Amino acid sequence: MYEISVIVACYNSEKYIHRCINALLAQTLASGIQIIAIDDGSQDKTLSILREYEEKHAHVKVLANEFNCGSGATKNRGVSAAEGRYIGFCDSDDYVDANYYEGLLNAAISFDADMACSGIVLEEKGVKTYHRLEENNLYRLAQGDNKENKDDEPYLVDAEMVFGHWSISSACTKLFKREIAKKYQFHEGVCDDIPAIPPAVAYAKKIVFCPTLYYHYIIRTGSLEHSGFSEHRLFIADRFLETADIIETDTMNTRCVYLLFLQVILPTINNICAIPSFSEKMNYLRKFRERLGDKAISFWDVCKNDYINIYLNRFTGQAAFYYYTLYALFFGSDFEGLERHLLDWGLKSEKYTPKVSVVIPVYNGSDYLRDAIDSVLRQTYKNIEIIVVNDGSSDDGATEAIALSYGEKIRYFYKENGGVATALNLGIEKMSGDYFSWLSHDDFYEKEKIECQIEALRIKTDYSAVVYCGYTVTNAAGEPHHEMLPSSMYNKEWLQVPLFPVFRGLLNGCCLLIHRQSFAKGGRFATDLRTTQDYDMWFRLLREEHVLYVDRSLVFSRTHAEQGSVQEKGHEEECSKLWIRLMDDLTDSEKIDFEGSVYQFYMNTHNFLYTHTPYHKASSYALEKMQEHEADECKEKRNDLRDQFDVTRNDVSNEVAVIRQKPIIRLKQSFQEIGLLQTVRKAFRWALKRVIRCVKEWHHKLVYTNRVKRDCEE
């Protein structure tokens, strides 16, 4: 008996079948593998090629359908003929690495698992893209697990984890115990994998994932999956509903069905909406909605299917709004509204594609400049100009040579050395775009950086707003170290308050997108500041403009020994002076609007500076100002307490007299009628909370005061 039987369904595969079968013959577990190749009525030489392999290798078994039956029927025939303890699948135009099946088998045996699964490599025209099961996984994200998993050893996963990845319906990335593979039949028609693979995954009691193993999936133009949308694809609605019934009947696992809905149905709606012809698009949407019937509405219930928000959060702000509205109108069968939504979105997309000027100031940047320029050229948003400003580099022309090598792809300017601020100001002067985006020569962009920020402007239709995002800190080689995502530290509502990201140090200059008119209001970068010209500018700009936050890390910020903040002497001194000036420049009314009171503003600013920065002078200054306003804060709180308990003796006497006139059994009702009981309770709870808060604030202040004194003594 074989350890593994691998099913290979073949149809007109003469161009690819050699690579597939040879890869299976080269398996390190070759003696324990049975290869069952089924020809599905091919019109080329596929069958004769398979017969040659069968004659040479005893563990290769070839079957032939008399006529073309389809992939599902062919796989079912292969499963029936399989003799192995475990059953796997490989498409005839794909291939696997030599250790693929041995790795899956060993993992399955070690964990006594019903199923083992792998990652998948998408190959298109020689370009390989690797996808692991835990990456961008809806189930994993729903659990709050956002950390990168670098463990290369196999480990057990939940069925929901497999459903949380887009490869859930792929038979080829999985190895099944024989009895589970035989339990569920492939559909003998379009979308054959769905009724077989997801139910088997849901039914499996133990599933092991092998992080280092990958199935190689070849993307071919002209295949069913990649030949555009056709009416056959609408049958996916029928397959999904059938599969949902199977899973709910056999396993009662509704969460797996919810995840399958997001992996199968919503992407199909997206594919329909990508059809160029508007009338054809609407026709397919109506037919697909009709096929899904009323049951589909229950799967699009945000209250029940909590994975929906996770699914939408993977899009940028504008795209998330677009898709949520699209799905809501679709499942609500509001096709008039859906038509208006699609038309309106098309108009928005066509109307607002402003030109963006990416300004790259550089000084002696030959080590990293090429990475920066290339990252802009790779942007998915195309209406971009690149302006490179050479700030008087002294590296024997190395920086200039790199810039000039790009020819007309960039606009290049040279100036005498004057600092980053002067180079940025020259770039702003020379830019022809509507928006300014800064890129340091040693940093680089995520390919969707500009597109995501323009989308945020489109959805808010607030085109003068300043847009910012998160960033990823890397080492000198550009390898990611950690992600700085403001939403992981603060509420998103606060991140839209204009000056909040300034006073919490959340802004990286390269993360911003700024309309050119903002510079007319806020001025240019201060040339007398060598390392703090950015925060000086952001303070001036964000006092005048709205701010939009894009909840993604879209910039890679490189740290190395030669960068300006490291090389410049007096960096910390300059930063402390800037922070003190920013605190002084804000009016008391602005501080109150920002933090609720002047005292609270200085306390929170001091806490931030003391715990997150080395700017001790600025931190001490904020502490001194906080102490100056402490008396006013306490007086205000006492007045608030007095107002809450402003019930006179006559008021109480009158209410008691009313109560005494009523039967004792109606005492509670009487209190409710006069409202006194609720008033006293509410006031007492409020007062207690205020007292606790005051004690905490005084204790917090005392701790920080003692810490500052201790640091000064040291």
Q: How confident is the model at residue 682 (pLDDT cuts 50, 70, 90)?
A: low
Mean pLDDT for the stretch of residues 448-454: 93
* Chain centroid offset of residue 299 CA: 23
583 phi-psi bin (left φ>0, alpha ψ -120 to 50, beta other): alpha
Q: Which two tokens stand for residue 547?
A: 């701010």
Q: Does the pLDDT value for residue 647 go beyond 80?
A: no
Token match 């890397």: residue? 474
Number of other residues whose CB lies within 10 A of the CB of residue 662:
12
This prediction has a pTM of 0.53
Instruction: Kindly indicate the confidence band of residue 25, based on its pLDDT and cuts at 50, 70 and 90.
Output: very high
C-alpha dihedral sign at 135, 139, 140, 141: positive
Q: Rounded to whole angstroms, how far apart are CA atoms 542 and 529?
A: 19
Least confident of 56-65, 96-105, 114-123, 518-527: 518-527
- Taking residue 667's Cβ as centre, other Cβ atoms within 10 Å add up to 12
What is the structure's pLDDT at 59? 92
* CA distance linking residue 103 with residue 109, whole number of Å: 10
Q: Which residues pair with 88 in a beta bridge?
A: 6, 175
Say if strands 60-64 and 127-131 run parallel, antiparallel, or are unpaired: unpaired
Q: Where are the alpha helices (DSSP H) in 504-646?
A: 517-522, 533-542, 564-567, 571-585, 588-595, 598-612, 616-628, 630-644
Whole-angstrom distance, CA of residue 120 vs CA of residue 98: 15
Query: Residues of the chain with pLDDT > 90: what percent?
Result: 49
- Res 668 pLDDT > 60: no
Nearest to 575 by CA among 622, 635, 530, 525: 530
Q: Does residue 146 register a pLDDT over 60? A: no
Q: What is the pLDDT of residues 478-508, one digit of tens each?
A: 888 888 999 988 888 889 888 889 988 899 9
Proportion of the chain above pLDDT 70, given as a percent = 83
Picking from 156-160, 164-168, 289-293, 632-636, which range would have the lowest pLDDT averaged per residue?
A: 632-636
DSSP assignment of 406-434: TGGGSEEEEE----HHHHHHHHHHH--SS
**Quick check: 417 and 383 in contact, CB under 8 A?**
no
- 388-435 pLDDT per residue, tens: 999 999 999 999 999 999 999 999 999 999 999 999 999 999 998 889
Whole-angstrom CA distances from 48 to 65, 587, 705 are 13, 86, 86
How many residues comprise the chain? 714
> Is residue 617 pLDDT above 50, yes or no?
yes
3-state secondary structure of 390: strand
Helix (H) or strand (E) holding 269: helix 254-273
Contacts of 452 (CB under 8 A, 6+ apart): 316, 317, 469, 550, 552, 554
Alpha-carbon gap, residue 595 to 504, rounded angstroms: 12
- Residue 590: pLDDT band (50, 70, 90) is confident
Angle between helices 667-674 and 649-660 (to 10 degrees): 140
248, HSE (Cβ side, Cα atoms, 13 Å): 13
- pLDDT given for residue 683 in this prediction: 58
Answer yes or no: is pLDDT of 356 > 90. yes
- Kindly state the tokens that stand for 471: 């960033």
DSSP secondary structure string for all residues of 143-196: TT--S-----S-EEE-HHHHHTSTTTT-STTEEEEHHHHHHSPPPSSSSTTTTT
Query: What six digits make up the tokens of 555?
Result: 């910039």
How far is the C-alpha of 242 from the C-alpha of 292, rounded, in Å? Answer: 11
Give the other-Cβ count within 10 Å of 390's Cβ. 26
Q: Contacts by 262-266 with C-beta closer than 8 Å and gap 24+? A: 262/138, 262/305, 262/307, 262/308, 262/311, 263/138, 263/163, 263/165, 263/166, 263/168, 263/169, 264/169, 264/194, 264/236, 264/240, 265/236, 265/237, 265/240, 265/292, 265/296, 265/299, 266/311, 266/323, 266/327
pLDDT at 304: 84
Mind listing the pLDDT tens digit for each residue in 27-83? 998 678 999 999 999 999 999 999 999 999 999 999 999 889 999 999 999 999 999
Spatial separation of the C-alpha atoms in residues 607 and 650, rounded to whole Å: 46
Give me the helix-helix angle, 630-644 and 616-628, nearest 10°: 40
For residues 485 and 207, what is the distance between their CA atoms, to the nearest angstrom?
Answer: 33
Instruction: Look at 388 and 565; give whichever has higher pLDDT.
Output: 388
C-alpha to C-alpha distance for 419 and 532, rounded to whole angstroms: 11
pLDDT in tens, 191-239: 899 999 999 999 999 999 999 999 999 987 544 454 567 788 889 999 9
Position 667 pLDDT exceeds 50: no
Give the DSSP H/E element, type plus range, for residue 214.
strand 207-218
The DSSP output letter for 219 is P
Alpha-carbon gap, residue 68 to 43, rounded angstroms: 10
Q: How many CB atoms lie within 10 A of CB 641?
A: 16
Mean pLDDT of the chain: 84
Q: How far apart are CA 470 and CA 489, in angstroms?
A: 11
Distance, in Å, from the CA atom of 410 to the CA atom of 388, rounded to the nearest integer, reads: 7
Please give the structure tokens belonging to residue 39. Answer: 């020809």
pLDDT at 269 over 50: yes
| Torsion of Cα atoms, 285 then 287 then 293 then 298, to 10° | -10
Neighbour tally for 497: CB within 10 Å: 18
Do residues 366 and 396 make contact, with C-beta atoms less than 8 angstroms apart?
no
